[in-house]
Amino acid sequence: MLGPFTACALQLALRRAAVTEPGRARLGAWEPGDVIVRREVWHGRPLTAWGGTVVVDDPDLLALYMPEGSPLRFAADFFGAPHPWSYRDRWVGHGVLQLQRPGDRYAVWVFWEGEPREFTGWYINLQEPFRRAERGVDTHDLELDIVVSLDGSWRLKDDEQLEEWVRRGRWTAEEVAEIRAEAARVGELLDEGRRWWSEEWADWRPDPEWPQPTLPSDWDGVP
């Protein structure tokens, strides 16, 4: 398993050696430090946007970083009410690192807390598989999350809210059942100790020379 630093170095070396052929996509679309837009899109309708930075972009892993101060934007209507974070326009606190593989219905988020920037555990964010868009990536949060403690134990987060989202028209009862089944599947992998990501990400730090992310005024345009 490659650590984050080895993976970044290998990615850059492969890019320098690669030759793009007609009809064949080059390895990765972005370079480390590129600023992108991460949007939550529901049935073609953009609902939220974060400004983020690319850490790694290769065929098996897309790692994004939302540093402190990253801009946030929300649609005025979020299934009949304001978005729960609509009072925020910036990310507050240590940045969040997001590790995701193509096709997965979840991303592994990495948080740090306090003045010493202490790693607090892994956070499994259930979401639709990410899709590349003109300015970044689109996905949609599935609300149900898994919090993994330092000792390896885990718990579900926000399961009790799913029925309310059915009532508000975000999902059907069948779709909620699928979300819960995905959480159960990931939970089984955790119980078996099958983690595909490197533990080294817990000690990762961003490049201080990277630019601060921004968001375009028309973030909610399609695509």
Exposed / middle / buried, residue 103 (Cβ in 10 Å: 0-12, 13-18, 19+) = exposed
Residue given tokens 């390896």 in the structure block: 152
Range of the domain at 160: 30-194
| CB-CB contact of 33 with 53 (8 Å) | yes
- Confidence at 108, pLDDT banded by 50, 70, 90: very high
State which H helix or E strand residue 9 sits in.
helix 4-17
Q: What is the pLDDT of residue 3?
A: 56
For residue 50, is it within any domain? yes
- For 90-111, what is the mean pLDDT? 96
For residue 2, is it within any domain? no
| CB-CB contact of 56 with 31 (8 Å) | no
Q: How many domains does the chain have?
A: 1
Give the mean pLDDT of the chain.
Answer: 89
For residue 160, is it within any domain? yes
17 pLDDT exceeds 90? no
For residue 134, is it within any domain? yes
Amino acid letter, residue 188: E
Exposed / middle / buried, residue 122 (Cβ in 10 Å: 0-12, 13-18, 19+) = buried
> Could you report the per-residue pLDDT of 157-171, keeping only the tens digit for each?
999 999 999 999 999
Say what the pTM is.
Answer: 0.86
> Could you report the per-residue pLDDT of 49-60, keeping only the tens digit for each?
999 999 999 999
Between CA 12 and CA 34 the distance in angstroms is: 14
Which residues are bridge partners to 110 per DSSP?
Answer: 97, 122
For residue 10, is it within any domain? no
Q: What is the pLDDT of residue 61?
A: 97
Between CA 193 and CA 206 the distance in angstroms is: 28
For residue 216, is it within any domain? no
The DSSP 8-state label assigned to residue 46 in this structure reads E
- For 106-128, what is the mean pLDDT? 95
CATH number of domain containing 58: 2.40.380.10
For residue 23, is it within any domain? no
How far, in whole angstroms, is CA 8 from its chain's centroid? 18
Alpha helices in the chain (DSSP H): 4-17, 162-167, 173-191
For residue 7, is it within any domain? no
Between CA 162 and CA 159 the distance in angstroms is: 6
